[in-house]
């Protein structure tokens, strides 16, 4: 983007809109803007570590595959029981994948589900083959106390309310496994940390739980291609933590595992799902649908030009060939329209994204999630307020009609204005994460791969609720909270700028064309696995409340997170 000229606001240069530099000079500069990307090297005694280069930055990965399953007993040395606590988005998928991988490895490690007494999830777990009779299903506290590796996969707000009791039940020298760094953020906001007598690791699959299971099952045909994951070692009391974490990731079916820190993970992840992964894309399509219909476009064509185009042809093009190919696919007139939309949308999107990131980093968004979870129940004389539906408006009813007559394999139209807005959002999110010091693998995952490969296909199949509500409680809450913010700012600022025919910011367009992130995305594209997912609504990988009897298939779609670059630990 263009370099600001105001020295008074130079510390805000990475994010400052040219029109707001004077105002920016009046506020304190944010911390760590332009921070250096961290070094994320690690040592493993069990698996092979590889070095890759992304936009000139060296990072390290471990390739997965079913051929590595015989190494799992060595990676899990000292682990006799893995307790999987919770049966929400990630719990069912991870428990079944771990169990199946360990059976294939001829390991006698027990995978046991721990649930609170009276939980309705007992029946679901039994249906997946976990039973009290064979010692693989039981009470949460008994499971925590008896496990050497405790995978804490309950909701984030439940973790915040129960962590003290969980810690007190864990064995000394046992390992706490997380699939999200939320709990660390919660502890930090209270000046606390994990107990010093346990190891703390994270493995964060780059996709919602249902996709983790689905792609693991489909990946049996191609040596385990499934959902990639990041991993982190936050605390290691006996030197086993790295290989246990990598073994966990390999057992989940991750084709590639890349390193992060627990803090960087929760900041990028909570932020990402409120941004382009869920919240922002919801806000974008609502704003664009309303704009197009107000301009006289037919409702069905407006839906196709927004939701169908973004989740179809735009996502597939970005997934396989990158963002530049979206632009290059347009006619000369289409490129002009793209440029107008991109130029007008970039800074308004960054405005909300910047705010969102700092709300996450400061702990404000984490507190919001915890408090929202408590409002799900009656308290203080006030009624319960569970999450409401998000797909009941006219737009989404039109979407049902469009999908009912959609030909197999139809990816929707490539509307240049829609493409410009969407790509501007994507690039703005990349820039915020880059200036906040995240690694390119994490940046691309949280801004590109997870969006186009892991989430948008669900919205293409059955609309926004099918995408959002197959995710975690934290993701669902964040999407509902932030989607209206993107809708509002695009309507009030970006679209008004276009309608006034204000000049295009050519520096933004030039910087988009030459951004080094495109080369990093190319590396991911060269390494991408080839498994396609069929999104079957009544399959066991979909949340029970979202199942339907008819099969919905997104033909030809590679539904996964690309290689090195790839979470949702949604």
What are the binding residues for substrate? 331, 472
Q: State the Cα–Cα distance between residues 331 and 336, nearest whole angstrom.
A: 9
Q: State the Cα–Cα distance between residues 410 and 388, nearest whole angstrom.
A: 31
Annotated binding site for Mg(2+): 269, 273, 446, 450
Residue 143: how many CA atoms within 13 Å on its side-chain side? 25
Q: State the Cα–Cα distance between residues 441 and 568, nearest whole angstrom.
A: 13
Among candidate residues 17, 57, 169, 180, the one labeled active-site is 180
DSSP state of 11: G
For 563, residues 6+ apart whose C-beta sits below 8 A from its C-beta are 61, 228, 255, 256, 523, 524, 527, 528, 529
CA trace torsion 257, 262, 265, 270 (10° rounding): 140
With tokens 């910011």, the residue in question is 505
Q: CA-based angle 278:411:89, to the nearest 5? A: 35
Q: State the Cα–Cα distance between residues 173 and 236, nearest whole angstrom.
A: 9
Task: Write the burial class of residue 12 (CB in 10 Å: 0-12 exposed, 13-18 middle, 19+ buried).
Answer: buried
Record the tokens describing residue 157, joined without a space.
Answer: 């707000």
Cα distances (Å, whole numbers) of residue 321 to 324, 422, 529: 8, 16, 14
Q: Which of 222, 323, 280 is nearest to 456 (CA)?
A: 280
For 168, residues 6+ apart whose C-beta sits below 8 A from its C-beta are none
DSSP string across 44-67: -SSS--EEEEETTEEEEEEE--GG
Q: Which of 210, 150, 192 is nearest to 470 (CA)?
A: 210
Question: Distance of alpha carbon 71 from its chain centroid, rounded?
Answer: 28
As separate numbers, helices (DSSP H) first and strands (DSSP E) second, the chain gives: 26, 10
Q: State the Cα–Cα distance between residues 472 and 455, nearest whole angstrom.
A: 13
Q: State the Cα–Cα distance between residues 345 and 419, nearest whole angstrom.
A: 11
Cα Rg for the chain, rounded, in angstroms? 23
User: Does the annotation mark 415 as catalytic?
Assistant: no
DSSP string across 367-411: HHHHHHHHTTS-BTTBPP-----S--SHHHHHHHHHHHTPPTT--
Annotated binding site: 269, 273, 331, 446, 450, 472
For 253, residues 6+ apart whose C-beta sits below 8 A from its C-beta are 64, 97, 101, 212, 215, 216, 219, 224, 225, 226, 227
Q: State the Cα–Cα distance between residues 48 and 52, nearest whole angstrom.
A: 13
- Kindly tell me the sign of the dihedral angle through the C-alpha atoms of 101, 103, 107, 108: positive
Catalytic residues: 180
């Amino acid at each position: 983007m263009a370099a600001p000229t105001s020295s008074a606001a130079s510390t805000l240069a990475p994010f400052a809109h040219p029109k707001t530099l004077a105002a920016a000079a009046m506020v304190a500069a944010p911390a760590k803007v332009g921070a250096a990307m961290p070094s994320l090297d690690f040592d493993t005694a069990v698996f092979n570590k590889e070095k890759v280069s992304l936009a000139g930055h060296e990072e390290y990965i471990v390739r997965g595959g079913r051929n590595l399953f015989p190494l799992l007993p060595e990676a899990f040395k000292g682990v006799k029981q893995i307790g999987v606590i919770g049966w929400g988005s990630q719990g069912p998928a991870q428990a079944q994948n771990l169990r199946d991988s360990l059976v294939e490895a001829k390991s006698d490690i027990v995978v046991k589900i721990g649930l609170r007494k009276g939980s309705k999830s007992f029946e679901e777990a039994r249906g997946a083959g976990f039973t009290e009779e064979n010692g693989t299903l039981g009470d949460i506290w008994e499971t925590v106390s008896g496990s050497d590796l405790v995978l804490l996969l309950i909701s984030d707000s439940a973790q915040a309310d129960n962590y003290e009791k969980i810690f007190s039940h864990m064995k000394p020298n046992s390992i706490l496994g997380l699939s999200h760094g939320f709990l660390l953020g919660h502890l930090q906001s209270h000046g606390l940390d994990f107990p010093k007598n346990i190891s703390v690791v994270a493995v964060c699959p780059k996709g919602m739980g249902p996709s983790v299971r689905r792609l693991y099952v489909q990946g049996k045909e191609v040596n385990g291609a499934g959902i990639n994951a990041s991993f982190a070692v936050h605390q290691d009391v006996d030197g086993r933590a790295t290989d246990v974490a990598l073994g966990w990731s390999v057992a989940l079916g991750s084709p590639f595992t890349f390193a992060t820190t627990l803090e960087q993970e929760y900041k990028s992840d909570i932020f990402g799902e409120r941004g382009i992964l869920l919240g922002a894309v919801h806000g974008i399509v609502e704003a664009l649908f309303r704009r197009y219909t107000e301009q006289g476009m037919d409702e069905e064509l407006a839906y196709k030009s927004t939701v169908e185009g973004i989740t179809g042809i735009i996502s597939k093009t970005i997934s396989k060939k990158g963002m530049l190919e979206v632009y290059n696919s347009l006619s000369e007139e289409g490129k002009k329209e793209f440029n107008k939309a991109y130029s007008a949308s970039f800074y308004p999107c960054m405005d909300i994204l910047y705010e969102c990131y700092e709300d996450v980093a400061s702990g404000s968004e984490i507190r919001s999630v915890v408090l929202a979870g408590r409002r799900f129940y009656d308290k203080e004389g006030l009624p319960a307020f569970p999450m409401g539906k998000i797909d009941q408006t006219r737009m989404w009813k039109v979407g049902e009609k469009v999908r009912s007559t959609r030909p197999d394999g139809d990816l929707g139209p490539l509307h240049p204005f829609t493409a410009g807005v969407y790509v501007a959002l994507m690039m703005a999110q990349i820039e915020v994460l880059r200036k906040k010091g995240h690694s390119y693998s994490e940046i691309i995952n949280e801004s590109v791969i997870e969006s186009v490969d892991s989430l948008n296909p669900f919205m293409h199949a059955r609309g926004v609720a099918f995408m959002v509500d197959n995710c975690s409680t934290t993701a669902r809450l964040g999407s509902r909270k932030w989607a209206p913010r993107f809708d509002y700012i695009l309507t009030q600022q970006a679209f008004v700028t276009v309608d006034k025919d204000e000049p295009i910011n050519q520096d933004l367009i030039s910087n988009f064309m030459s951004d080094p992130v495109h080369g990093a995305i190319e590396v991911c594209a060269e390494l991408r696995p080839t498994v396609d997912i069929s999104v079957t609504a009544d399959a066991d990988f979909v949340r029970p409340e979202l199942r339907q009897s008819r099969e919905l298939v997104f033909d030809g779609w590679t539904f996964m997170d690309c290689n090195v670059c790839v979470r949702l630990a949604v």
